[in-house]
Structure 1
Amino acid sequence: MSAKQVDVIEYPRGTALERALDPITTRVIAGALESIVLEVGHKLSRMAYSSVIRESEDFGAAILDARGRQVCECPLSTPLQLGPIPGYVRGIEQILAERGQTWHEGDVIMHNSSFHGASHQPDVAFCVPIFHEGALVGYSVTTAHHLDLGALVPGSVGIVDATDAYAEGLQFRAVKVYERGEPNAGIWQLLRDNIRSADMVVGDMEAQIAAARVGARRYVELLEQYGRATVEDACEELMNYSERVLRDQIAGLPDGVYRATGYVDGFADDPDPERRLLPVKVAVTIEGDTLTVDLTGTAPQVAEKAINMPFVGTVDIAVYVTLRSILLDQATHEDMPQNSGLVRPVRIVAERGSMANPVFPAATIARFCPGNVVADTLMHALSPICGDRVSAGVGNLKVIAYSGLNGEKYWVYMDISEGAYGGMLERDGIDAMDTLYANTRNNPVEDIEAHYPLRVRRYELRTDRSGAGRWRGGMGTVREIEFLAPGMMNLEGDGNSSAPWGAFGGQNGSPGGVDFVRADGTVEALPSKLQGRRAQEGDVIRTLSPCGGGYGDPLERDPELVLSDLLDGYLSEETARSRYGVVPAGNAVDEQATAALRERLRGADAAEHRPPWASVPSGTLG
């Protein structure tokens, strides 16, 4: 049997500048660059039509140099929108070269090809070339999630049964929507004719273009103020600095190979076992100041299912964001320039044809939750050597596209049910948070109910289900949304089959769930992924987020913290006693009884004191 072909993502080391640049000038330019992309982000969010951009801030904004390297990014943006931007530009450049095309002043390119750098099909980039004195000096790019791009069912999430990439909706491979300043009217008409909720989606696209043009103008103003050579040298030094700092952190880790395995739910009701509980394998190799993440052994790409992950655009971003969060945590490090220097110390390897490196035309639109499994498993692999910087297992998210018809026009809404972080050293897990590389904001209930025939009936913390630990896991949410008119839903999520892992003696968290509550009160349990589910007026979707794993021995948790959680309603008295060994006495702790109970529990079989969900399979070290 021949060996499987592997692909590698790696970038060359930076090179020192030939001339020394004043560090104060460098920092001033760094601040100016961030101001530019902040302005771009603010303008985009304020001009956007959809709540996913306006409220959830599911967008990206960045400036790249003429070589396609990111020199700054908007801190308002989400990692999964920002990180892929250099890949978008490389994909655009590749396609233009194949066509024999080039850039002109006034051009605007639209791009969303998942096999040419894009994160997935709904995340569309608009790229504006930046010219200065007739020369191409960089790119101003905005990305954003769009609520419909003409896929086989309404909405742009939860499309899990797509036969291939063509079933996911319109594909834009470096399409010039403006050429030399003139709009391509045919393309804009094609968009309006093939997109549900076209006014909203096209409005968002126009907002992206206007914001990207602002970034291009501001960058030219910066070149004119300081001179092109000075600005470009400053950008080079900032990238080199970011690279040096990350390499120093990697060099401080012990050399070796560290492994972990996580699991994607897959499709629990599928008769094919190859589509259920899909492994994600991670091996991290530390060699000096270089770190390699090898995903060899991850499940093969899944045919006719859209949970495959673009190698460039999703998998690489899951890796970069996780490493940056662990090794360069802002709580312990100075403000770090966010640029392409941060990817140079990291190599990523994956087998071609695997779920982590699919081959065109594999469907990838529902890649989000599997990518979170990659990030969580990478953190698990690093936990033996970064125990003071990682959290225990993280609860994944659920994303639902709600849609329906109002006369002849569609309404489409995307709703995110937050997950939760695991406990970490000296800190409980963060409750109700868009985890890992998501980082979007939740949409206000008032905004949902004002714009769509939906009612949020329940939205609360999921209590008494977090992984017990010296620092407990975070709580997910319970969210119920009622249809006020007939409609449809598509769902993509994960974490219903595997519980978030407990760390260093902490207990596993709890898996999630989804219920379909009919108007007559009957309840049907649903899988974590489904497509095209119709609902009638009065039907309700209830999502239960996974809760994070615990960190450290729960019998070492401060009894006063256990009491506080009990009084706040975060856990029950039975849990306080059976899992933490804490005996309450009114609004206080019975210290003598607590000491006796903890002593008895330490001598008992720990399995007897775990809740039923703690035995659900989780990612495993191996």
Structure 2
Amino acid sequence: MAQIIETSSQSFASVDVDLVTVDIIENALRNARYEMDAVLFRTAMSPGIREQHDEFPLIADHKGRMVVGQFGSFIGGFLDNYQGTVEEGDIFLTSDPYSCDGAISHANDWLVLMPIYLEGRIVGWAAMFGHMTDVGGKVPGSLPTDAESIFEEGVVIPPTKIYRRGVLNHEMLELILNQVRMKQWNRSDLNAIVAACRTAGRRVVELCGRFGTDVYISTLEQLLERNYRAMEQLILQTVSEERISFTDYLDDDGLGNGPYRIHCTMWREGNKVHLDFEGTDPQSEGPINFFLNVNMFKMFFGIYMIMVFDPQILWNDGFYPLVEVHIPERSLLRPAYPAALSCRTHGLGRIFDILGGLLGQRQPEFLCAAGFSSSPHLMYSGTDQAGEWFQLYQIGFGGIPGRPFGDGPDGHSLWPSFTNVPNEFLEAYFPLVIERYETVADSGGPGFFRGGNGIDIAYRFLEPGTISIHDDRWLTYPWGVNGGLPGARSTKYVIRTNGDTEVLPSKCDHVKVEVGDILHYVTWGGGGWGDPLDRAAELVALEVKRGLVTHEGAKRYGVVLDDHGAVVEPATESLRDEIRQQRGDLAVFDYGAPLDELKRRSMEETGLMAPRDPVFGAR
């Protein structure tokens, strides 16, 4: 456990704070959190952080509890595992998931933590992690799809004082950067993260100076307590004492094995919700293991509850005592060191589908369909004609699920801060041309609220190189709910210059591409919500006009259109009556087909061999 050094032994006094002051401090902290983002985006160099915003900041109280931010607090796991001192001016860096209880979940995430001191006492913490484009290892991008241990995935940094009492540890930094392919990007991104944390530190000190340290600390206690009370009511109103379970699958592990089962059971005891992952498959030999930090999952649960049931609540760590989480050791979600973690994004995404399947079973009108499902990645690297190394890391997006309150957006991230890399940026800085960037009509699952469409990005390569691909939902469907139909699956294929088409696995490395080859990176659609036959026919016709649904696809909603795209009302009524008579009762969950059938039809439908059943043994 860390030893915190403070030159003042004076304790903080608890004082009453009026609501206006609470509101001012809360909004000032929220602004400081967004200022952290702004500082980072203006000074980072890698497109993953600068353009796509693959980073997560937080500001915590003096005990390390997050007050504003994303992903929940990283501080507790760090303090429990760090065996050294914490002093004024120290800034810590780590990329080792096993040293911080999974607060970060793979080696590409560099986590910076900074204590905020005022007059000899810690008054708060600032922290942020960002995904580095490269941290060394066996493949460019450092996300090998065939890794069997973390040692293959690049440099892994234990908790380290990168600044000691305000002085940069140059030798340590140079040692770390010597392991990576894009040194200048890593250096700039790290400096940007440090600058963002220092910005937060200044804002906290300013608030303490303006209102008084005791008022500031007491306000944070009030904010945490307020969140506790709000979440307590949500849990009592929406979570049953009856045990409810849900199961979903990761399609494969990159080594040809799968699918892998993730299972969660939820129930309430008193005012506490219990989430138990017993029944989840053991850890994979491949890199799809997701070291799920308990506090991170509590935050996921809280965010999902709030966004579905009461979006006005502002979340923080205050509700954590109300959530009990059990994750079996040596399972897919709590692997044992040194299990590989480089493809953990698929498990991370599937956790949100699991939550969607759990939260609302008691009240189906609050169910969300499947849609986040994965986090598609593309890496493209090589040496151009000028002899310069280039390396692209890009996150793609699929369809957001249909929800109780509306359609899922097309080709969008579930993370509110993530954005697409502009095509102009890609073409300006990398040897490629974007030939196509469009939604895939009919890929969103039909429903009263339509699932978001996936997207098809066509990359034409201008230099020879290699690509790596990370994705999932190529075998299983993003399921629909309450009568909604599943979304379409993902697919990836290369059209070679000789006209041949090569279907690629959803997880692959070392795929050689030549000048003129075109990669089609097609993501999955979101599942639909509610009976598609209840969707307004005129709205379906409008979406056909906009290219989101095809004429043929409109018939899945029971809508018949003429050659000009107008609704043919008698034919529509007749078709809807016919579909209702043939389909029977609506299913709460529509998975498309049983898993065994999906595997049997895999080659015919996807062009890929079905994965082998995993064999689990002692490691």
With normalisation by structure 2, the TM-score equals 0.88
On the 8 A contact 1:319/1:378 being kept in 2, the answer is no
Structure 1 Cα separation of the partners of residues 37 and 416 of structure 2: 17
On the 8 A contact 2:242/2:268 being kept in 1, the answer is yes
Q: Deviations over 1:239-284 (max 9, x none)?
A: 11111111101100233111111010114772xxxx2111111111
Structure 1 residue aligned with 2:344: 367
Equivalent residue runs for 1:280-291 within 5 Å: 280-291=262-273
Counterpart of 2:395 in structure 1: which amino acid? Answer: I
Counterpart of 1:306 in structure 2: which amino acid? Answer: P
Q: Deviations over 1:495-525 (max 9, x none)?
A: 0011111111122221111112222221111
On the 8 A contact 1:421/1:433 being kept in 2, the answer is yes
* C-alpha deviation, 1:439, in angstroms: 5.0
On the 8 A contact 1:470/1:554 being kept in 2, the answer is yes
Q: Deviations over 1:62-111 (max 9, x none)?
A: 222222111222xxxxxxxx315x23x234323433xxx21222222111
Structure 2 Cα separation of the partners of residues 428 and 30 of structure 1: 32
| Bigger mean CA offset, 172-181 vs 261-270 | 261-270
**Candidates 170, 173, 187, aligned match of 1:188:** 173
Equivalent residue runs for 1:426-465 within 5 Å: 426-435=405-414, 437=415, 440-465=418-443
Call closer, same or farther: CA 1:66–1:252 in 2, change over 3 Å. same
Structure 2 Cα separation of the partners of residues 587 and 496 of structure 1: 32
Structure 1 residue aligned with 2:195: 210
Call closer, same or farther: CA 1:186–1:408 in 2, change over 3 Å. farther
Secondary structure at 2:259 match in 1: strand
Secondary structure at 1:507 match in 2: coil
Structure 2 Cα separation of the partners of residues 337 and 438 of structure 1: 14
* C-alpha deviation, 1:146, in angstroms: 0.7
Structure 2 Cα separation of the partners of residues 349 and 570 of structure 1: 42
Q: Deviations over 1:441-467 (max 9, x none)?
A: 100000011111122111100112322
Q: Deviations over 1:406-448 (max 9, x none)?
A: 466532211222111222235222211113x585110000001
* C-alpha deviation, 1:606, in angstroms: 6.3
Structure 2 residue aligned with 1:46: 42
Secondary structure at 1:485 match in 2: coil
Structure 2 Cα separation of the partners of residues 186 and 619 of structure 1: 57
Secondary structure at 2:577 match in 1: helix
Number of residues paired by the alignment? 575
Asked whether 1:164 is paired with 2:149, we answer yes
Secondary structure at 1:204 match in 2: helix
**Candidates 15, 29, 34, aligned match of 2:30:** 34
Structure 1 Cα separation of the partners of residues 274 and 511 of structure 2: 41
On the 8 A contact 2:353/2:372 being kept in 1, the answer is no
Structure 2 Cα separation of the partners of residues 401 and 160 of structure 1: 12
Structure 2 residue aligned with 1:339: 316
**Candidates 241, 247, 253, aligned match of 1:261:** 247
Q: Deviations over 1:525-574 (max 9, x none)?
A: 11111122222222222111111112222222211112112222222222
Structure 2 residue aligned with 1:9: none
Coordinate RMSD, CA, aligned: 2.4
Call closer, same or farther: CA 1:165–1:143 in 2, change over 3 Å. same
On the 8 A contact 1:191/1:202 being kept in 2, the answer is no
Call closer, same or farther: CA 1:316–1:530 in 2, change over 3 Å. farther
**Candidates 354, 358, 366, aligned match of 1:389:** 366
Q: Deviations over 1:172-226 (max 9, x none)?
A: 1111111122221211221332211111111111111122112112211211221
Asked whether 1:480 is paired with 2:458, we answer yes
Structure 2 residue aligned with 1:83: 71
Secondary structure at 1:191 match in 2: helix
The percentage of aligned residue pairs carrying the same residue is 29
On the 8 A contact 2:303/2:315 being kept in 1, the answer is no
Q: Deviations over 1:279-325 (max 9, x none)?
A: 1111111234221111111111012x21101121xx75355325423
Structure 2 residue aligned with 1:311: 292
Relative CO higher for 1 or 2, CA cutoff 8 Å, sep ≥ 6? 1
Structure 2 residue aligned with 1:4: none
On the 8 A contact 1:582/1:597 being kept in 2, the answer is yes
With normalisation by structure 1, the TM-score equals 0.87
Call closer, same or farther: CA 1:366–1:316 in 2, change over 3 Å. farther
Equivalent residue runs for 1:498-509 within 5 Å: 498-509=476-487
Call closer, same or farther: CA 1:333–1:569 in 2, change over 3 Å. closer
* C-alpha deviation, 1:587, in angstroms: 4.1
Secondary structure at 2:85 match in 1: coil
* C-alpha deviation, 1:43, in angstroms: 0.9
Call closer, same or farther: CA 1:240–1:153 in 2, change over 3 Å. same
Counterpart of 2:18 in structure 1: which amino acid? Answer: D
Equivalent residue runs for 1:391-430 within 5 Å: 391-394=368-371, 396=373, 397-406=375-384, 410-430=389-409
Structure 1 residue aligned with 2:612: none
**Candidates 224, 234, 238, aligned match of 2:223:** 238
**Candidates 539, 543, 550, aligned match of 2:517:** 539
Secondary structure at 2:365 match in 1: coil
Counterpart of 1:552 in structure 2: which amino acid? Answer: G
Asked whether 1:102 is paired with 2:85, we answer yes
Secondary structure at 1:421 match in 2: coil
Secondary structure at 2:56 match in 1: strand
Structure 1 Cα separation of the partners of residues 475 and 297 of structure 2: 21
Structure 2: 5+ residue stretches without partners: 1-12, 599-619
On the 8 A contact 2:291/2:334 being kept in 1, the answer is yes
Structure 2 Cα separation of the partners of residues 438 and 306 of structure 1: 26
* C-alpha deviation, 1:619, in angstroms: 13
Q: Deviations over 1:470-497 (max 9, x none)?
A: 2222101011112211112222111001
Runs of 4+ in 1 over 6 A off after TM superposition: none
Asked whether 1:114 is paired with 2:97, we answer yes
On the 8 A contact 1:510/1:613 being kept in 2, the answer is no
On the 8 A contact 1:92/1:173 being kept in 2, the answer is no
On the 8 A contact 1:112/1:171 being kept in 2, the answer is yes
